[in-house]
Structure 1
Amino acid sequence: MNRKIVYTIVLMVGLAGVLAYGALVYVTLYAWEEVAVSTASSSGSVVFLDNISHGTHHLGSVHASLESDIDISYSNPISPSIETGIGINTFTTSWNDIRRDGSSGGKTAVFTLTVWDSAGVPHSTSLKSGRSGSGTMSVSLFSPEPGEGRFELTSTILERRLNPSALSDR
């Protein structure tokens, strides 16, 4: 065969490979999205007082069962209202990601703890869990003055899905 023909064939095959690779990267990066399958939240109030001591307060728990798409979030069963002193306080919540087989199955659990101080400023932390496990999350904040704040515990199950409209839009 003529060298020009061989070079042309090699160039065309290489170009086709580069185009196929680019399409694969595009689908991988842009055509997938995380969709909220279920969300649960609970909340309560935090009263900052100047006549009691500050400290660490457990606010409740958040759970996600990914096989059944069930989120559970509950505040401290004793009282959804916490009284604490002004100054530095730490607020905790326990989380639990339940998966019977331990795999992700394309789903992720996101747990969020948000506490608003007496000035209305939110202080938040989130944990994204891709496997079975449990633990504690905490938020520390300084509240300089008496007043009322609030807290919210949220558990969300996200599922990674192919978005066909993203393929046709580009």
Structure 2
Amino acid sequence: MNGKILYSIVLVLVLAGALAYAMSYAREDVIVDTFESGGRVVFHDNDSHGTFHLGVASADFEKNAVFSSSFSSIETGTGTSTFTAVWKSIRENTFGGAKTAVFTLTVWDPAGVLHSTTHESRGVSSGTLSISFSPHGPGEGRFLLTSTISESRLNFSTPLFT
């Protein structure tokens, strides 16, 4: 009789493990909402530099809404400049919620070289995205401020062994 009980317990544990393994592969991240705003950066042929606030990005977990607002154009020189944007997550994620807000600031220099930073948030909080670099020469670049809410959902149509 003890052997049957032990066998049953082991079988239940194996089935629970297999189910947990399958569930971990049945999850997918779905973009709920995304918004982008951006502008241009003019790099003049001089050594000027500075810190430039480019905009604000926000996410509202309750409304599944994101927003970003930015300046249309800034000017600087070829010295090391710092580009910043404020991010904030407003309204709390539901208890045990699977939503994530992703905030990204991307700046391209005149040569098209991408400089980027990202922050993820799962609750009410705020902070600053910051990028510093010196372009290799004068010209026009651009920047983009993106805010996205994604949600991890179960999808049983996803093949388990791909």
Gaps of 5+ in 2: none
Q: Secondary structure at the match of 2:46?
A: coil
Unaligned runs of 5+ in 1: none
Q: Tell me the equivalent position of 2:75.
A: 83
Q: Distance in 2 between matches of 1:26 and 1:146?
A: 53
Q: 1:58 and 2:70 equivalent?
A: no
Could you tell me how far 1:157 is from its partner in structure 2? 0.6
1:126 to 115, 118, 121: 118
The more displaced of 58-67 and 97-106 is: 97-106
- 1:33 corresponds to which residue? 28
State which of 15, 19, 23 in structure 2 corresponds to 1:23.
19
Counterpart of 1:153 in structure 2: which amino acid?
Answer: L
Q: How far apart are 1:17 and its partner, in Å?
A: 1.7
1:72 aligns with 67
Task: Check whether the contact 1:40–1:72 (CA below 8 A) recurs between aligned residues.
Answer: yes
Query: Which sits farther off after the overlay, 94-103 or 57-66?
Result: 94-103
Deviations 1:22-76 (A, max 9, x none): 221321x211111110000001001111136111100011011111111111112
Q: 1-side partners of 2:83 and 2:95: how far apart?
A: 30
Q: Residue 102 and residue 11 in structure 1: after superposition, are their counterparts in 2 closer, same or farther (change >3 A)?
A: closer
Mark the CA change 1:105 to 1:15 in structure 2 (over 3 Å): closer, same or farther: closer
In structure 2, the CA distance between the partners of 1:104 and 1:72, relative to structure 1 (3 Å rule), is farther
Q: Deviations over 1:83-138 (max 9, x none)?
A: 10002111000011001578563211100000001110110000000110111110
Q: 1:102 to 1:133 in 2, by over 3 A?
A: farther
Report if the CA contact (8 A) 1:86-1:145 is conserved: yes
TM-score under structure 1 normalisation?
A: 0.86
Distance in 2 of aligned mates of 1:136 and 1:17: 46
Identical-residue share of aligned pairs (%): 50
Of 130, 133, 136 in structure 2, the residue corresponding to residue 141 of structure 1 is: 133
Q: Which TM-score applies when normalising by structure 2?
A: 0.90
State the alpha-carbon separation in 1 of the partners of residues 45 and 58 from structure 2. 34
10-19 or 129-138, which deviates more: 10-19
Bigger share in helix: 1
